[in-house]
């Protein structure tokens, strides 16, 4: 939310930058020379599978003398093309695939093992002809049964005209086309809505009455469930907080609003610290909500104190988990410097352009607080929006502390810019928090009256911008 509550520690990045390269191109990997291994065995496991692709894990065991670096090579089955990998640097030329160690996992003693993962197109047929540093894996290859593929609607099907009038009824399953968020008719749209505050603190604000007001009076298109990971959030009760998020997804769906499931990482700012929690959480919510058309996944709220490469490493491991269960979903990825595209750290969006995520239906998030973030931030968004799909999943009318006076002038300039670029936005916060960013006056939620008389200055302004008519083209 606010920079006053943003702090982090730097954790080691465990992934590798992976490029899918054509014949003759150079991979990114270690330059050390490996001694020849004398044999190996391989375990090939299909972790997840979906229509047109799969996630595989490979464990190689060195049966020979210790080596200081390794290169596992194999022949891909028909149709398999690797597009992402982690814990190894993978290159491909035709059907020949090479996976080299990264800096921290090159040493393989006798009977030592190394494990890496990858995403590939095609079916989950076990590859063949594995060699380690040029020596055949005489110890054999074991493989696990393929996971059942999930299915998705054919992209060639033209949807009929909508029969309902809610945002979800009109737009259906969303997708990313170019730099835009698009509806089922492949038309760029803009969603406008609100974010909860921390569910651990303001759960009483999110009931039938308040959500009815958001959908029917405010006419919001999207409702973001901000599930803090730490700060007395998810880690204290994973099942309970997962249930809260699923409840809000259902409440939004019943009213025809889109729902953003926000894995609200803040402290620590390195999302890799909560990687396993993220995998578990998103596996659960994506599997449970895969059939819904209203769900958008935000995998890391505000990374801070980390590089884009560390964020990218995290994303490359979490995104496949979601796609395995819900392959059509739009996924939002936090950016460096509290989701400022790196501006708050003196960087720019160019670092993302230099190393983008190679998945479809990915958008990058931007956050701003109008009283603190002004022309230089707006200039960066204007430049980035021409090249990257952006989604403002959090913004405030006040300062980066979440408090202070409402800056109507800067807030207006921001929303006019986002409208002109068709960038979706979600305001912080739909709550009665005793701070300038709260949409309601303090004490509102306990009283149960969510009418306009209870709105704060921020709430009045934000509602006035959300309630205006949407532009959702269908043809």
Question: H/E element holding 91?
Answer: strand 89-93
* CA–CA dist 384, 281 (Å, integer): 30
- Cα-flanking dihedrals φ and ψ of residue 180, to 5°? -110, 155
Q: Which of 328, 375, 369 is nearest to 176 (CA)?
A: 328
**Which pairs count as long-range contacts for 466-469, CB under 8 Å and 24+ apart, including other chains?**
466/192, 466/193, 466/194, 466/218, 466/219, 466/220, 466/221, 466/427, 467/217, 467/218, 467/219
* CA–CA dist 119, 398 (Å, integer): 42
Single out the catalytic residue among 253, 302, 351, 380: 302
394 is catalytic: yes
Longest dimension (CA), the chain: 78
* CA–CA dist 297, 229 (Å, integer): 15
Q: Which of 397, 428, 400, 298 is nearest to 340 (CA)?
A: 400
* CA–CA dist 276, 124 (Å, integer): 24
Single out the catalytic residue among 253, 351, 380, 394: 394
38 is catalytic: no
**Catalytic center residues:** 302, 394
């Amino acid at each position: 939310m606010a920079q006053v509550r943003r702090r982090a520690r730097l954790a080691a990045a465990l992934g590798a930058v992976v490029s899918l390269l054509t014949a003759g191109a150079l991979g990114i990997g270690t330059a050390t020379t490996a001694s020849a291994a004398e044999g190996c065995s391989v375990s090939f496991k299909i972790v997840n599978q979906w229509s047109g692709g799969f996630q595989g894990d490979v464990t190689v065991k060195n049966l020979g003398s210790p080596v200081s670096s390794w290169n596992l090579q194999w022949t891909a089955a028909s149709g398999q093309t690797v597009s992402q990998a982690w814990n190894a640097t993978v290159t491909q030329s035709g059907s020949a695939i090479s996976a080299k160690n990264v800096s921290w996992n090159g040493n393989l003693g006798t009977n030592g093992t190394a494990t890496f993962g990858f995403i590939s197109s095609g079916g989950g047929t076990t590859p063949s002809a594995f060699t380690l540093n040029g020596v055949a894996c005489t110890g054999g290859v074991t493989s696990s049964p393929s996971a059942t593929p999930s299915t998705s609607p054919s992209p060639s099907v033209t949807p009929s005209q909508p029969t309902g009038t809610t945002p979800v009824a009109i737009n259906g399953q969303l997708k990313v086309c170019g730099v835009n968020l698009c509806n089922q008719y492949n038309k760029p749209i803009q969603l406008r809505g609100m974010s909860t505050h921390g569910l651990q603190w303001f759960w009483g604000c999110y009931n039938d009455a308040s959500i009815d007001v958001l959908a029917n009076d405010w006419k919001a298109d999207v409702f973001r469930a901000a599930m803090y990971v730490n700060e007395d959030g998810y880690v204290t009760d994973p099942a309970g907080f997962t249930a809260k998020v699923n409840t809000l997804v259902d409440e939004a769906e019943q009213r025809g609003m889109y729902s953003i499931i926000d894995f609200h990482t803040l402290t620590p700012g390195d999302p890799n610290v909560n990687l396993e929690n993220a995998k578990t959480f998103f596996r659960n919510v994506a599997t449970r909500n895969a059939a819904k058309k209203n769900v958008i996944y935000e995998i890391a709220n505000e990374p801070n104190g980390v590089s884009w490469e560390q964020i990218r490493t995290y994303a490359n491991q979490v995104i496949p988990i979601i796609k395995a269960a819900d392959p059509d979903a739009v996924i939002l990825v936090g950016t460096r410097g509290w989701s400022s595209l790196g501006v708050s750290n003196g960087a720019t969006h160019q670092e993302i352009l230099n190393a983008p995520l190679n998945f479809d239906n990915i958008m990058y998030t931007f956050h701003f607080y109008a009283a603190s973030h002004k022309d230089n931030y707006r200039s960066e968004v204007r430049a980035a929006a021409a090249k990257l799909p952006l989604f403002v999943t959090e913004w405030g009318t006040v300062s980066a502390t979440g408090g202070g006076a409402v800056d109507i002038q800067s807030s207006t300039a921001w929303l006019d810019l986002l409208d002109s670029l068709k960038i979706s936005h979600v305001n912080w916060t739909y709550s009665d928090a005793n701070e300038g960013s709260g949409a309601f006056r303090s004490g509102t939620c306990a009283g149960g009256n969510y009418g306009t008389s209870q709105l704060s200055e921020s709430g009045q302004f934000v509602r006035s911008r959300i309630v205006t008519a949407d532009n959702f083209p269908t043809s």
